Amino acid sequence: MPRHRRIGLQRGRDAAARRQGQTQAPGAPGGKSQGPAHGQGLGLGLYLLTTGSPPGAAGGHGQPVFDPYYLTVIADAPLAYWRLSEQSGTTVVDASGNNVNGTYVNSPTLKQAGIPGAVGNNAAKFDPANGIIAGQQQYAHFGDVLPLTGTKLSIEFWLRALTTVATAAFAPYIARGDVTWRVNTTNTTGVDTLQFAVGSGSTPSVSATGLGFSDGNWHHVVCVYDQTNLIVYKDGGSVASKAWSTDVPAAAGKDVGISWNSDQTGRWVHAIMDEVAIYNTALSAGRVLAHYNAGIA
């Protein structure tokens, strides 16, 4: 059954159960004995806030809350969705249900205030002041995953810059090496620049400047490759585009990282990051705007 039909069926079941007064919490008499794992929905936007732990485990909340932002993202079937909401530990939990989990390296600061629309959710701070020596910077590492060869691609995240100056040329927000796909700053003169590339070098890339990231506020970034154009969206609107029609390159051994590029490990960003998602589809302008509006609600 297609994913959207399964979601619709679950919503219908939840609504019917509520009308009959039969909806019960996990563990309640007659209810399910165990709730869903962290990152799974409970229908109609209910998200189990376990903050990286199974229900009932130490450090996990375990209570369901209504989270429209989570529901908005999941409706577009991301391949990976890292909410960066962990309270402790080193595991970065994938909330997409696809088990693309990762590892925090060199102790990024967790439990930071996240975007307004993500109910009860936190964010992670990647701070080069705590690791300015190459090899000691803070980042999230996911291994050789999400090659997405020959497909469409969307990369989404929220950021709050903590400095007005980029820490390095081409400092990565998220990347799968230098020759597959990446989103990074373009220079060291400021953090108000962004480059989105699918392939190696500057030819298969589009750059945007004057983005205002240095104001210290949360900003929503979505980079889309639809196999015809590279498009950069900021806060719900398109800010740059470039015609490009080559397949996403195949490259083995290229690890995915947040604030880390596996081919250029001396580069990093100084920012709080939240709600990072990867899709093998091209999000439409309407869906990008819907995600932004849900995030600022």
Q: Give buried/exposed letters for 165-185 (b at 16+ CB in 10 A, else e).
A: ebbbebbbbbbbbbbbbbbbb
The number of beta carbons lying within 10 Å of the beta carbon of residue 279 is 25
Q: Is the domain of 255 the same as that of 109?
A: yes
Cβ-contact 229, 242 below 8 angstroms = yes
Considering the domain boundaries, does residue 72 fall inside one? no
**Judgement on whether residues 5 and 123 belong to the same structural domain of the protein:** no
Q: Is residue 105 part of a domain?
A: yes
Q: Are residues 33 and 123 in the same domain?
A: no
107 located within any domain: yes
Domain boundary among 28, 43, 66: 66
Position 219 scores a pLDDT of: 96
Q: Is residue 247 part of a domain?
A: yes
* Residue that finishes a domain, picked among 42, 66, 90: 66
Task: Tell me if 71 is assigned to some domain.
Answer: no
- The edge-to-edge listing of strands for the beta sheet with 194-198 is 91-92, 102-105, 139-143, 256-258, 172-176, 181-184, 194-198, 205-208
Q: Are residues 172 and 81 in the same domain?
A: yes
Q: Is residue 160 part of a domain?
A: yes
89, 58: one domain: no
Nearest to 156 by CA among 286, 279, 294, 261: 279
Are residues 180 and 254 in contact, defined by beta-carbon separation less than 8 angstroms? yes
23 & 114 share domain: no
Please check whether residues 147 and 7 belong to one and the same domain.
no
Instruction: Identify whether residues 87 and 25 lie together within a single domain.
Output: no
58 and 82 belong to one structural domain:
no
Q: What is the Cα–Cα distance from 18 to 13, expressed in whole angstroms?
A: 9
Q: Are residues 181 and 118 in the same domain?
A: yes
The residue among 163, 236, 166, 152 whose CA lies nearest residue 195 is: 166
Q: Which of 17, 47, 66 is the last residue of a domain?
A: 66
The alpha carbon of 230 is separated from its chain's Cα centroid by a whole number of angstroms, namely 19
- Same domain for 231 and 120: yes
Based on the fold, state whether residues 35 and 142 are members of the same structural domain.
no
Residue ranges making up the domain that contains 27? 1-66
Whether 207 maps to a domain, the answer reads yes
Count of the separate structural domains present in the chain: 2
CB 255 within 8 A of CB 182: no
- For residue 143, is it within any domain? yes
CATH number at residue 288: 2.60.120.200
Query: Which residues does residue 172 pair with via DSSP β-bridges, in sequence order?
Result: 184
Q: Is the pTM of this model over 0.85?
A: no
Return per-residue pLDDT of the chain as tens, 297 residues.
544 444 443 444 444 334 333 333 333 333 333 333 344 444 444 545 444 433 323 333 334 457 999 999 999 999 999 999 999 999 999 999 999 999 999 899 999 999 999 988 899 998 866 555 655 788 888 977 776 666 899 999 999 988 765 556 677 888 887 777 888 887 655 678 888 988 766 677 888 888 988 888 999 999 999 999 999 999 999 999 999 988 877 777 778 888 867 667 667 778 899 999 999 999 999 999 999 999 998
